[in-house]
Structures are given as C-alpha cells and as structure tokens.
Amino acid sequence: MTGPLLSTRDLSVRFRLRDSVVQAVTDVSFELRPGRLLVLVGESGCGKSVLASALLGLLPGNAEIRGGVWLHTGAEPLELTTAPERVLAGRVRGRRVALVPQSAATALTPVRTVRSQLAETLRELRPDLADRRGECDRLAERVGLDPLALDRYPHELSGGMAQRAVLAFALSADPDVILADEPTSGLDRPLVDRTVDALRDLADDGRAVLLITHDIAAAERAATDVAVMYASRIVEQGPAADVFGDPWHPYTQGLLAATPARGLRPLPGHPPNLSDLPSGCAFRPRCPRRDTCHDDPALVDLPDGRALACARPEAK
C-alpha cells in the first residue's frame, strides 16, 4: 500500500481560557493517502474545524498542541506542529497542502473580480508561470466552471459557482493534499453532490483528500474512508463501506439513524461542552447502553482496517 502523504499521531489541542480549558481535539490519529478521500463526520462543535486548523498551523496563540502532524511529500517527513511560520507559509500552505474553506463568500474579496484574485494567487504560488490568464482558464475548466465566470465579482456568482471558484484556488499550485472544511455548507443538494463529486475526482487523480462535514449523505457519496468524531475524539474509523454499512459504535449508529434515508430518528440529548466534558466515556449520557457500561475506552485498532473506541463493540 502506498504510504501516507499526511499523518497525525495522538494529536491533541487545548485552549486555555481564563477560567476553563477547552479540550478541542484529543489523541487523534489518522493517515491521508493518495487516491483516498477520508471523510471526518460528527455533530457541530465536536472539534472538526479545529483539527483542520491544526493541520495547517492556523491555531490562535492560546492553543496548546500535543502529538504530531507529519507531511510526507519530501525526502524527509516535515513535522508541521513545530515547523516555523516561514516554512508553513513558504512551503506548505497552498503549495503542498491546500484548504477549501467553508464559506466561499468570505474567502473571496468582494471588490475584485475572481480572475484578478486567482491570478494574484498564481503569481504568489507559481512566480515562474508565464501565461497566468491561460492557467486561470484551465483551472476553471478543471473544476467545471465556465472561464467567463472568472471575470465576474464574487457577488455575481451563484453559491455553486463560488464554491467551484475557491476549489480552483486550492488547485493553483497542484497540491498533494486537500483539506475541505464543510465546503457544502449552505448549498442545496444538487450543488452538494457536485462539490463532493469534484473532491472525489481529485482523490481519484492521486491526491489525498480530507472532507470535514456533518452531512452524512455527502459523506456516503464521496468517502473511501471515514472517521467519526465525538466530543474531540475519533470514536470509530475504517473503510466507508464497512462503517456506513455496519456501524459498531452507538454514536455512529445514532448518527446514521438520524438521516432521512434511515428513518430520521434523532439522537437524544446534546453533545457535551468541550470545556466541561463528563468523566469516563463522553457519549455515555446519551448512549442506549449506558446502564451496563462504565468504561472510558481508547481507540483500538481492529481487523480489516477498522478502529473503535467502545467498551461493548459486540453489542451492535
């Protein structure tokens, strides 16, 4: 099997506030491999977007990081959590690892045409490129956007067109790894499908893609692999067909049961506050098995590429 392009090991992020500590990410380990699209799913507030920021070194000054993130695109792995800003800005962000943001509207400058902004991005990332206008057109076509749309201002684009535009920005330097943080937020279903199909196509072309979403239908459509996050931790992980077809963790089972395709049965209760996590298993207050389970399990690797953090995996 081809080695990972990016990997994390026991990555944790804490934010120290005046009177509390936010446990945003706890002991997260995964690999992003070429040709694979890993979907990270979970309810809002579980730490998914903080994790994306940690991968790119974009955390605020009060963040405390433990564990590591490694980029494996050079002769030697580059540890990103300890890399200086000049390395992250000059060699990593936008070049080897690109971000597709949640909101295209806030990512684009409203008073300049999309083409002028894309050309500026190319000038920064690929200073030796001679034909920037032609490359802008090629990038637009690559993401399914009419090149003429580049000559419009951001407010003149539909939501789907704007999302394809920021995807073109992400591809400007032909990155190895693409991080997409809730890129379908606010889009209708046809545009959601087109966006995740475009990300899957990029994975099929040999890139490693991380898609962060709470949209289970989008996750099932695009994923080759899936990681389920709850209260800052990954609680289940494995090949998408296995996890979606036969979920083992009660939280994963609850997430899937809450979708329209599986009966629209909502999970009881609410996710815990990350600055006030319950002792033991964080899911226990909402778990249907809580009366007979009192353990706080770590994520354990299982056969066939799956991993699970549950004391009762036999009770499916």
Residue 116 located in a structural domain: no
Q: What is the DSSP letter of 89?
A: I
Residue 156 located in a structural domain: no
Residue 110 located in a structural domain: no
For the sheet with 37-41, list strands across it. Answer: 97-100, 177-181, 208-213, 37-41, 225-230, 233-239, 307-308, 300-301
Domain range enclosing 211: 6-96+175-308
Residue 258 located in a structural domain: yes
According to the model, what pLDDT value does residue 300 have? Answer: 86
| Number of CB atoms found within 10 A of residue 97's CB | 28
CATH number at residue 303: 3.40.50.300
Residue 66 located in a structural domain: yes
Q: What's the CA gap between 159 and 140, in Å, rounded?
A: 15
Q: Which two tokens stand for residue 48?
A: 């998914």
All residue ranges of the chain with pLDDT < 70 are: 1, 294-296, 313-316
Cα angle 247-240-56, degrees, rounded to a multiple of 5: 115
According to the model, what pLDDT value does residue 316 have? Answer: 44
Q: What's the CA gap between 110 and 39, in Å, rounded?
A: 31
Residue 53 located in a structural domain: yes
Output the pTM of the full model.
Answer: 0.93
According to the model, what pLDDT value does residue 106 have? Answer: 82
Residue 112 located in a structural domain: no
Residue 161 located in a structural domain: no
- Domain total in the chain: 1
According to the model, what pLDDT value does residue 303 have? Answer: 80
| Number of CB atoms found within 10 A of residue 109's CB | 12
According to the model, what pLDDT value does residue 281 have? Answer: 87
CA distances from 227 to 55, 127, 264, 276 (A): 16, 37, 21, 23
DSSP string, 180-237: EESTTTT--HHHHHHHHHHHHHHHHTT-EEEEEES-HHHHHHH-SEEEEEETTEEEEE
Q: Which two tokens stand for residue 272?
A: 């815990």
Q: What's the CA gap between 178 and 199, in Å, rounded?
A: 9
According to the model, what pLDDT value does residue 187 have? Answer: 82
Q: What's the CA gap between 11 and 193, in Å, rounded?
A: 31
